[in-house]
Chain A
Amino acid sequence: MRAAKRIKGEGVLILLLLPSAAGLFMFYIAPFVISIYNAVIDNPVTKNFVGLKNFTDVLGSEAFRMAAGNTLTFMIICVPLNMVLPLVLAMLLTRAKTSRGFLWLIFLLPLVIPSGSMVFFWMKTFGLNGWINAVFFPQAPADWANTSAARLIIVFIFLWKNAGYNMVLFLAGLNMIPAEYYECAAIEGAGAWRQFRMITIVYLAPTLFLTFIMSFINSFKAFKEIYMLFGGYPHKSIYMLQHFMYNQFSAANYQKLAASSYIVTPAFVAIVFALFVLQRKISENF
């Protein structure tokens, strides 16, 4: 669209943009800026200025630290797995000779299934009377959601639901690598592993990075499943930052809520920004 210059009626573009920009300003930007006021007063009644007390309270609270730690741990486990599994699926699919379309559909399916529709199945899988206990631990059943295994359950459900997303990105990336590269390498005697390391991984670098960023962002979406399965106060190993925020909502503690959103937002933006700068640098080499 770059070539279209000097089309008459440039002013009308502002009218096209205005509804969206005004709405974004009104419902996202302005209230976020204004909420700094909530973050520096003691409560909505007395409205005393307390400086950074809400911030130090949040940062110092055990619940916040636990939540931040759990969120980080979850990401460290989830993000790499959510890259490896989709890459494996995509590579297997490109090599499949039959029913490729059908298999593609199956791997993508969980992405569209509403979380609510699966809650009962997951309960009857990982719960105290679930089939995992029935099959593997019939004499010593455990309520896995209330043990540290809860984290594994969440990782499993997250991968089940989200692997298809990155698989689509990887399939597009794999399609962009010319088949001649592999043919050449094969003629020169490179084995499968060497081809993977020297061609696939190298030319897939931009996609790998993209899936890394998307996995990082999507990892926050696991909250929906955790909340539906285990409620607002799950086992302490899966008490996430989102739980912390959500419980401030429920308690109507807008001072802590505003303060924590002012802590989480800059941290998140800084990480995403750093990732993008890194990505630009990597992409420039291609």
Chain B
Amino acid sequence: MLHRAAKLLIFSLLLLFAVIFLFPVLITLTNSFMSVFEAARRYSAWFSAANTYDAGFEGIHYARVSLTPDLVTLKQYTALLFGSPLYLGLFLNSIKLTAPIIAGQVIISVPAAYAFETSRLKFKEALYFIYVVIMLLPLQVTLVPNFIMAGFLNMNGYLAIIIPAVFSPFGVFLVRQNLKGIPGEYAEAAKIDGAGHVKIFIYIILPLIKGAVASLSILVFIEYWNVVDQAVIFIKESVHEPLSVYLSRLAGEGGGVIFAASCFYMFPTLLVFLYGQEYMAEGIQLSGIK
């Protein structure tokens, strides 16, 4: 039994960590309900006519972070969504980039994972080892072959990002990890009834690995919604950029709608997270190499 004081200590430690972890997200969320003017006044780097009364040092104007806006308003969001067509376009770009990658990864890797797990091919484990090695390589390293092939096939823009991502070995690995946990008896029974691999795969295995497919989709979504490196290399025109790249530039300029733009960009991931947290945790556990 834990002592009362120990319990209190544990809870206060947890609370402290929770505050640290939540603080950046919470600030971004609450400050997105500031007016454009207030955001500019609070966060502008240099003194101007609008913020001369705030504390600062030799011309530097300190950011005045606050959890509560002086005035709660949706002005940032309306400016963002109706002020210019740019953000909706960039948001669509992110969808155009992410959706085909998720669909492609699932369609390509789920059958391949089943084949790896059930086939008795001689060299399959050697091939699988190559999959794992490529999966573990840092992105900047695998980008080199991706880039060479894109140049060779004359692919550019979205295709140059989507196609290699679809063939990324991660999905095969994740789904196979899940398949390893399914008892052979399921397929055994169907086999006795005379079902072949195609029938077993479609009618028995697929329903059993729905969870793993959900985990895979969520992890791929989070990864590519956040795409930066590939986009910087492959996408030349700024109207085609995903929101991620644009935001890092906007942050440097420090516009008054930056908080709303940041929130706008993270809402889809928050939604997926709230509905799919269990699948995500399961995916993380599956991706643990054993």
Identify the A interface with B (CB < 8 A).
1-10, 12-14, 16-17, 19-21, 23-24, 26-32, 34-35, 38, 89, 92-93, 95-98, 103, 105-125, 127-131, 133-134, 138-139, 141, 160, 163, 165, 168-169, 172, 206, 210, 213-214, 217, 220-221, 223-224, 227-229, 241-242, 245-246, 249, 254, 257-258, 261, 264-265, 268-269, 272, 276, 283
Enumerate 23 A-B pairs (CB-CB under 8 Å) in ascending A order. Answer: A3-B183, A3-B187, A6-B191, A12-B196, A20-B108, A20-B169, A24-B130, A31-B152, A38-B148, A92-B10, A92-B17, A108-B273, A113-B269, A116-B247, A117-B265, A124-B65, A160-B21, A160-B24, A165-B284, A210-B289, A223-B139, A228-B248, A249-B143
Chain A proximity mask over B63-90: 1 for CB below 8 Å, otherwise 0:
1110000000000000000000000000
Number of B residues, CB within 8 Å of A? 116
User: Residues of A contacting B127 with CB < 8 Å?
Assistant: 21
Are A26 and B284 in contact, CB atoms less than 8 angstroms apart?
no
Contacts A20-B112, A31-B149, A242-B140 supplied; 11 other A-B pairs, CB < 8 Å = A2-B184, A3-B183, A3-B185, A14-B119, A21-B127, A110-B21, A116-B226, A119-B248, A120-B262, A129-B60, A160-B24
User: Residues of B contacting A223 with CB < 8 Å?
Assistant: 139-140, 229
Q: How far is the CB of A127 from chain B (nearest CB, A)?
A: 8
Are B148 and A35 in contact, CB atoms less than 8 angstroms apart?
yes
- Decide yes or no: A113 and B61 within 8 Å by CB, A23-B167, A214-B288 being known contacts: no
Chain B contacts with A in 33-81, Cβ cutoff 8 A: 43, 45-46, 55-57, 60-65
Distance, CA A119 to CA B250, complexed state (A)? 9
- Decide yes or no: A168 and B284 within 8 Å by CB, A117-B262, A129-B63, A265-B141 being known contacts: yes
- Of A9, A123, A127, A217, the residue contacting B196 (CB under 8 A) is A9
B122 at the interface (CB under 8 A from A): no
Are A108 and B281 in contact, CB atoms less than 8 angstroms apart?
yes
User: Residues of B contacting A14 with CB < 8 Å?
Assistant: 115, 119, 121
User: Residues of B contacting A265 with CB < 8 Å?
Assistant: 137, 141
Distance, CA A4 to CA B191, complexed state (A)? 8
User: Residues of B contacting A261 with CB < 8 Å?
Assistant: 141, 144
Chain A CB within 10 A, most for which of B127, B137, B280 = B137
- Decide yes or no: A134 and B167 within 8 Å by CB, A4-B187, A141-B57 being known contacts: no
- Decide yes or no: A245 and B2 within 8 Å by CB, A120-B251, A169-B284 being known contacts: no
Distance, CA A113 to CA B141, complexed state (A)? 24
Are A27 and B14 in contact, CB atoms less than 8 angstroms apart?
no
Are A224 and B228 in contact, CB atoms less than 8 angstroms apart?
yes
B210 at the interface (CB under 8 A from A): no
Are A17 and B10 in contact, CB atoms less than 8 angstroms apart?
no
Identify the B interface with A (CB < 8 A).
2, 7, 10-11, 13-14, 17-18, 20-22, 24-25, 27-28, 43, 45-46, 55-57, 60-65, 108-109, 111-112, 114-121, 127, 130-131, 133-134, 136-149, 152, 163-164, 166-167, 169, 172, 179-180, 182-185, 187-188, 191, 194-198, 200-201, 222, 225-226, 228-229, 232-233, 243-248, 250-252, 254, 258-259, 262-263, 265-266, 269-270, 272-273, 277, 280-281, 284-285, 288-290
- Of B20, B46, B247, the residue contacting A119 (CB under 8 A) is B247
Are A213 and B167 in contact, CB atoms less than 8 angstroms apart?
no
Q: How far is the CB of A184 from chain B (nearest CB, A)?
A: 15
